[in-house]
């Protein structure tokens, strides 16, 4: 297979190709899997903890114009992904379930008319448990959505009020019941370490969530993010020791219920892992369209990151004019090890060393010394300090507990070019 010199940055490539690359080269004809992310930015009310690009809907939703803009955005992006198949589609927000089933049907038809989807491609839609959205679940399934992700967050009405959620616990239960009827696979989002939450209260939340036998469960630690209401008026959250005990409880209860923890925050039954998120974590490619959407695309000589215009009105204006991208930059070669490890070390099963070489185009020598340091500190297992002959690396239980410290070991040294 031909190789070309790498100039400045290197791209990713697909599994299965020879990973014994000469330093600074990347093999042609092998790119990572490609996913599509679609951002629908409106919600009924902005939650006080949320730092996502979401905007309260005030008045009539500009559904048709926004779908026109998404279509124009995708068409303008086609030269960057020409000939590549899309393995998954994720429609996130905001609250995408505010869009009508007819609108989602049109969106998916527009996508299929412009890019080839892999047979059986996973198509996820984020939804809130409100009655209005719940009544649309079966229609979303008929439109082509294959997987629903429900933002429950809590089954406690007082906790939901503190979190600024617009639904109550009864609506959450009804939404899950509806999702079970309409979808073969669905996800429940749950949060822990909530203001004033005790270990016993979390246990009750877990019992309720697991009673529905969800195929997939995502559980997130509530954190205070900059530029949010909680950052200005921070609530009292459980301390680190209690939060750690909560995570231990989550791991125990989910395992007992038959859910495997395959990523830091994700638990699934066999056959129900989220393919879209796995592609992120494995340093796959993704085209992001929609207001504020991010994307990462690989080429034989570079990795390109893009950002769309953030404010919905500005996005629609620029996208319809063929200028949806507000910022684009190449990932520097020195940053590739950290960017790869940022996702790969979130996976409980870790990654193959071969995949690191394939997806970054870098020789294994760029990370072997750091992997050995991490192994000696008890944060990973499976790395060899000599030649990388151990072909698999995964975080230990300690590495999972100190994941940020583990990931940061792969940051480029300050001042290194």
The secondary structure of residue 96, as a DSSP letter, is G
Flag whether pLDDT at 79 surpasses 60: yes
* Alpha carbon distance 285, 298 (integer Å): 7
Q: How confident is the model at residue 66 (pLDDT cuts 50, 70, 90)?
A: very high
State the DSSP string of 155-168: S-HHHHHHTT-SS-
Q: Is residue 154 scored above 80 in pLDDT?
A: yes
Q: Which residues of 115-147 are buried (b: 16+ CB within 10 A; e: fewer)?
A: bebeeebbbbbbbbbbeebbebbeebbebbbbb
What's the pLDDT tens digit per position in 285-295? Answer: 999 999 999 99
- With 90 as the cut, is the pLDDT of residue 389 above it? no
Bigger pLDDT: 261 or 48? Answer: 261
**Residue 298: per-residue pLDDT:** 95
* pLDDT score at 24: 41
How many angstroms separate the CA atoms of 214 and 207, rounded? 12
Residue 245 pLDDT > 80: yes
Which range, of 5-9, 107-111, 342-346, averages the lowest pLDDT?
5-9
Length of the chain: 417
Per residue in 30-62, pLDDT (tens digit) is 799 999 999 999 999 888 888 888 998 888 999
Considering the chain, what percentage of its residues have pLDDT values greater than 70?
Answer: 90
* Joined tokens for residue 266: 């994700």
Contact status, residue 49 vs residue 69, Cβ threshold 8 Å: no
Whether the per-residue pLDDT at 152 is higher than 60: the answer is yes
For residue 15, how many other CB atoms are within 10 A of its CB? 14
Cβ atoms within 10 Å of 80's Cβ, excluding its own: 14
Domains of the chain: 34-278 (3.20.20.70)
pLDDT tens digits, residue range 157-203?
999 999 999 999 999 999 999 999 999 999 999 999 999 999 999 99
Give yes or no for residue 256 having a pLDDT over 90.
Answer: yes
Residue 48's pLDDT is 84
Q: How confident is the model at residue 391, as a pLDDT?
A: 83
pLDDT of residue 170: 95
Q: Residue 103: which of 134, 125, 77 has the closest Cα?
A: 125
- Calculate the alpha carbon distances from 250 to 198, 216, 262, 266, 329 in Å: 13, 14, 13, 11, 39
**Average pLDDT value for residue range 316-324:** 98
**Average predicted confidence (pLDDT) for the chain:** 89
């Amino acid at each position: 297979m031909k190789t070309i010199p790498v100039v400045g940055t290197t791209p990713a490539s697909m599994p299965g190709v020879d990973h014994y690359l000469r330093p600074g080269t990347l093999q042609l004809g092998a790119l990572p899997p490609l996913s599509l992310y679609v951002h629908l930015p409106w919600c009924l009310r902005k939650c006080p903890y949320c730092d996502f690009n979401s905007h309260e809907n005030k008045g009539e939703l500009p559904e048709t114009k926004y779908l026109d803009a998404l279509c124009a955005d995708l068409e303008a992006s086609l030269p960057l992904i020409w000939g590549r198949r899309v393995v998954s589609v994720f429609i996130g927000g905001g609250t995408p379930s505010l869009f009508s089933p007819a609108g989602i049907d049109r969106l998916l038809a527009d996508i299929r008319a412009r890019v080839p989807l892999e047979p059986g491609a996973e198509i996820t839609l984020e939804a809130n448990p409100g009655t209005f959205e719940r009544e649309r679940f079966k229609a979303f399934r008929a439109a082509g959505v294959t997987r629903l992700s429900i933002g429950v967050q809590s089954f406690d009405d007082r906790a939901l009020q503190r979190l600024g959620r617009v639904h109550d616990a009864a609506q959450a239960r009804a939404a899950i019941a509806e999702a079970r009827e309409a979808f073969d696979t669905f996800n429940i989002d749950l949060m822990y370490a909530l203001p004033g939450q005790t270990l016993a209260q979390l246990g009750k939340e877990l019992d309720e969530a697991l009673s529905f036998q969800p195929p997939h469960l995502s559980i997130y630690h509530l954190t205070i993010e900059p530029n949010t209401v909680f950052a200005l008026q921070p609530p009292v959250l459980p301390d680190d020791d209690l939060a750690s005990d909560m995570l231990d409880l989550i791991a125990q209860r989910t395992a007992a219920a038959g859910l495997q923890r395959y990523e830091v925050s994700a638990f699934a039954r066999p056959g129900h892992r989220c393919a879209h998120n796995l592609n992120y974590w494995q340093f796959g490619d993704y085209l992001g369209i929609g207001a504020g959407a991010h994307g990462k695309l690989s080429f034989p000589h570079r990795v390109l990151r893009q950002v769309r215009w953030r404010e919905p009105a500005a996005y629609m204006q620029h996208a319809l004019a063929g200028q949806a991208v507000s910022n684009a930059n190449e990932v520097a070669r020195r940053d590739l090890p950290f960017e790869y490890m940022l996702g790969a070390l979130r996976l409980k099963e870790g990654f193959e060393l071969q995949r690191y070489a394939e997806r970054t185009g870098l020789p294994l020598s760029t990370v072997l010394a750091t992997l050995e340091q991490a192994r000696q500190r008890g944060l990973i297992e499976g790395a060899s300090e000599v030649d990388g002959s151990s072909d698999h690396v995964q975080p230990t239980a300690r590495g999972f507990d100190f994941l940020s410290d583990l990931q940061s070991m792969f940051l480029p040294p300050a001042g290194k070019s």
